[in-house]
Amino acid sequence: MAKKDTSKTNVTARAELKAQQATCRFCGKKPEVIRVLTPAGKARMFRKCCATAGIAA
């Protein structure tokens, strides 16, 4: 069942609700992920939330 204040077609409200509930599995904060290119040219995902919390993940 959907909540009364959000509808299935209100995509922005659903995205905001999902973002509020999302937490990083390593540090427990709101996830902040950036894409970093290595010197070899490969793309790698890097968690800024864990770096600021002092966790290397």
The rounded distance, in Å, linking the Cα atoms of 52 and 4 is: 37
The rounded distance, in Å, linking the Cα atoms of 44 and 29 is: 20
Q: Global pTM?
A: 0.43
CA distances from 27 to 1, 17, 32, 40, 48 (A): 31, 20, 11, 29, 10
Token pair, residue 2, equals 């959907």
pLDDT one-digit tens code per residue, 1-57:
555 665 667 888 888 877 777 788 888 888 888 899 999 999 998 888 887 777 765
Quick one: pLDDT at residue 37?
93
